[in-house]
Structure 1
Amino acid sequence: MHFGAIADDFTGATDLATALRERGLRTAVVIGEHDIPTDHDAVVVALKSRTAPVDEAVSASLAATDRLLAAGADRLYVKYCSTFDSTDEGNIGPVLDAIIGRADTDRTIVVPSFPANGRTVRDGVLFVDGVPLEDSPMRHHPLTPMTISRLSGILAPQTSAELTEIGLDTVRGGEEALRAAIDRATPGYLIVDAETDADLAVIADASRHLRVVSGGAALAAHLDAPAVDAHVPFPAVGPGRLVVCGSASAATRAQIADATARGAIARGVDLDAAVSDPDAEIAALTAWVRSVPATALPLISSVTELSDIRRDASATADAVEHVLSAVVAGLVAGGDVHRVVVAGGETSGAVVQALGISALEIGPQLAPGVCWSAGETASGDTVALVLKSGNFGATDLFTAAWGALA
């Protein structure tokens, strides 16, 4: 196994797996604690640890690391979101600390840049579509509001490791110059600037000697990999469609608006009912989806405007995840739905876990960071899933995605 990867949410796992698959690596996504296959070039373990308590995130990440190393992984890849979603407590810093220690190495790179999706780093500052992170819509994220743009400023409260910034001038000096900078830096975390895919290619080449690398998925698109055919036929699935949105991001809200303008039939989750009587809300939403004509696209959303976000955002989010995942699981088990687009990392994780899926097969790519995947549920049904980060995908994704499946 060339790469063993740990992703802090399920959308990030499929995002990374898509990049590795495009590099020609036979790649599997394994859900949580399920068995690691030993016949793949790369395995991504999908965790639901981005917003978990620090101790839980570290424990789950170390357990995944141990299993990947035992399965023969040569190198480790720590995957986090390209908007560096975290809090002052973690979980990026504590997880990196733990995995670096387990791998018995003293440094790694920190490269969240994803140029195709507008995430770039210059002078150690993370930009989203040309705007500093703290001035982007991520400032209003209900679970991980990002109010600092400098990556060292985000990481400093999370780790005692030395933080070193490596600028674009060094990156654009070429592979040898960057590798020398990496090797002579004080042990710790090396925050490397990148504004283009060409920059990422240099970083990937210059860091190929590191046992552990960390970043968003875009870096993986440039990792050294064998030239093999990693593509396998995507399984056929039934026609039943559904979109569920737990994300409150501006991108997802725009996608909801576009889908409804194009004829999708939308309904919001009753947030009060989701908290006070979730079983009744699950039943109501399930019945509603079944009432939508087969030719129409049903769409369930939790948030359409920022004003919908509650002060008790965490408790409400947990309730919404439970409701949406239970609705999807019931409709798939009932044979009503076979293809589901899920918006939001936490919601995606809840849906996959509710379905009882142990591994995902990566299918057609829809956009940078967005793809179809397929998995077998606990009851033996095959379901096709798009697990989409709230911030990713074109505005028409919810209506355009279906054309990629036979």
Structure 2
Amino acid sequence: MLIGVIADDFTGASDIANTLAKGVPPEGGLRTAQFAGIPNVPADPTLEAGVISLKSRSAAVQDAIKESLQALAWLRQQGCEQIIFKYCSTFDSTPEGNIGPVADALADALNANGVLVCPAFPTTGRTVYQGHLFVFDKLLSESGMQHHPLTPMTDPDLRRWLGHQTTSRVGHLALKSVLAGVHETKNILSAEMMNGNRFIVADAVTDDDLLVLGETVADQPFITGGSGIALGLPRNFIRAGKAEGDGVQFAACSGPEAILAGSCSGATLGQVALHAKKHPTLAIDVPGVMSDTVTAANLLAFIKAKRGLAPLVYSSGTPEEVKDLQSKYGREAVSAKLDALFATTAQQLVENGFRRIVVAGGETSGAVAKAITDQLDVSAMTLGPEIDPGVPMLTIGTDEPVALALKSGNFGAEDFFAKALQIMEGSS
């Protein structure tokens, strides 16, 4: 294995696995697998990249550090030459969050300095300019991410935000240097390291900028960022003759379908509204979930009754609705209950022969993917075609494979749900 990724949630892991598997023309990508948690057996020796999906984004700092270091140990045992710490392309965290501490711990373990920090993903509107993170034409703090129920992001200045979380010094690689090319970016990185800056926030507003950064860090042992930072990395290994460039393997899945949505993002709310115009939907009564009067059996019964009609069950709500529920029951309690509900529902769907499952929301995706991989006793998920930017199809198992799409709340076109189900069965 050449590249190892430690991702702090499951949708982000799918996103960067997709980037590594696709690569860029003409070289192509790497043979990539996504793992649901840290495997307890060695990886397939033919793999060139492995992405470990953790649920550490909202975890306590020490828990996130411990799990990330365990993931690092396994990846190093597989021979990885380069490690990426992948976090959200909207850097959602809190001043007490774990992105900085985890990055510090991994950098210590790898004896790394001058570590790139770049959550840019221009294809989905995430760009970094003058060290500030934008979502399309809005600063991150005005994009809706300030209302995220678990990790609200209220400051777009990545240098300042990272400074809340680490005692390490944070520098900046400006866009004008990136536009000047690889030679200049390498010089700036070296200068920032000489000035004692361990982490370097890099500007990037286009994919070409990410390709420059990818070539710049070809020999770096440790990189941090969103999935975009991996865009240029496969070709470094392919050009060096270490990889072949045939990343995406596709196996269509047929069978019954279901959609589970646990995201409160504006994009997911729009996707749910559009889907509801032509397909059966069920809004989950969260107070009923908290009192155990709404269970996985209720969701399963609805989905089975609407089989063949692309049924959707969802717990999405407006920021105001979410805030009221969290105030009444507690943020962690609501999240834990809903994760458990979706996880159990997913396992019951698989038991009842459902083979195409679309999931929206990072926490929900993590709960569902871990539940199904544990159920099938398979840790590796195979990458399939991209459904929308940043969201690939995944398959679990070989005899009767289950197709999954794990969608970050903010990702996907309005018709994502129907499109995902079509691509899973080999049509578009």
For normalisation by structure 2, the TM-score amounts to 0.90
SS at match of 1:110: strand
Query: Residues 2-401 of structure 1: matches in 2 within 5 Å?
Result: 2-23=2-23, 24-34=29-39, 35-37=41-43, 38-185=45-192, 186-223=196-233, 224-226=236-238, 228-231=244-247, 233-261=249-277, 263-277=278-292, 280-292=294-306, 294-309=307-322, 310=325, 311=327, 312-335=330-353, 337-355=354-372, 356=374, 357-376=378-397, 381-401=400-420
Distance in 2 separating the partners of 1:285 and 1:40: 37
Deviates more, 1:386-395 or 1:220-229: 220-229
Give the conservation status (yes or no) of the 8 Å contact 1:142–1:314. no
Distance in 2 separating the partners of 1:143 and 1:149: 17
The one-letter amino acid paired with 2:369 is V
SS at match of 1:126: strand
- How far did residue 172 of structure 1 move? 0.9
The one-letter amino acid paired with 2:309 is A
Distance in 2 separating the partners of 1:241 and 1:30: 23
- How far did residue 229 of structure 1 move? 4.3
Distance in 1 separating the partners of 2:346 and 2:264: 19
- CA offset digits 1:179-223 (Å, max 9, x no partner): 011011124100000111111111111121211011111121111
Give the conservation status (yes or no) of the 8 Å contact 1:358–1:376. no
The one-letter amino acid paired with 2:237 is A
- How far did residue 236 of structure 1 move? 4.0
SS at match of 2:395: strand
- CA offset digits 1:301-349 (Å, max 9, x no partner): 10143333022333212111111121111011121x2101100111111
Distance in 2 separating the partners of 1:148 and 1:94: 18
Structure 2: runs of 5+ lacking an equivalent: 24-28
Give the conservation status (yes or no) of the 8 Å contact 1:27–1:230. no
Give the conservation status (yes or no) of the 8 Å contact 1:5–1:78. yes
The one-letter amino acid paired with 1:256 is V
SS at match of 1:363: strand
1:381–1:317: structure 2 CA closer, same or farther, 3 Å change rule? farther
Give the conservation status (yes or no) of the 8 Å contact 1:30–1:36. no
1:277–1:127: structure 2 CA closer, same or farther, 3 Å change rule? same
- CA offset digits 1:26-72 (Å, max 9, x no partner): 11112212134133111111111111111111000000101111211
Structure 1: runs of 5+ lacking an equivalent: none
Distance in 1 separating the partners of 2:200 and 2:252: 44
The one-letter amino acid paired with 2:87 is Y
- Regions of 4+ moved over 6 Å: none
Give the conservation status (yes or no) of the 8 Å contact 2:356–2:403. yes
Distance in 2 separating the partners of 1:124 and 1:282: 44
Other-structure match for 2:26: none
Distance in 2 separating the partners of 1:8 and 1:243: 23
The one-letter amino acid paired with 1:102 is A
Deviates more, 1:15-24 or 1:269-278: 269-278
Distance in 2 separating the partners of 1:271 and 1:191: 40
Give the conservation status (yes or no) of the 8 Å contact 1:36–1:43. no
SS at match of 1:360: strand
For normalisation by structure 1, the TM-score amounts to 0.95
SS at match of 2:392: strand
Identity over aligned pairs, percent: 38
Give the conservation status (yes or no) of the 8 Å contact 1:333–1:381. no
SS at match of 2:212: helix
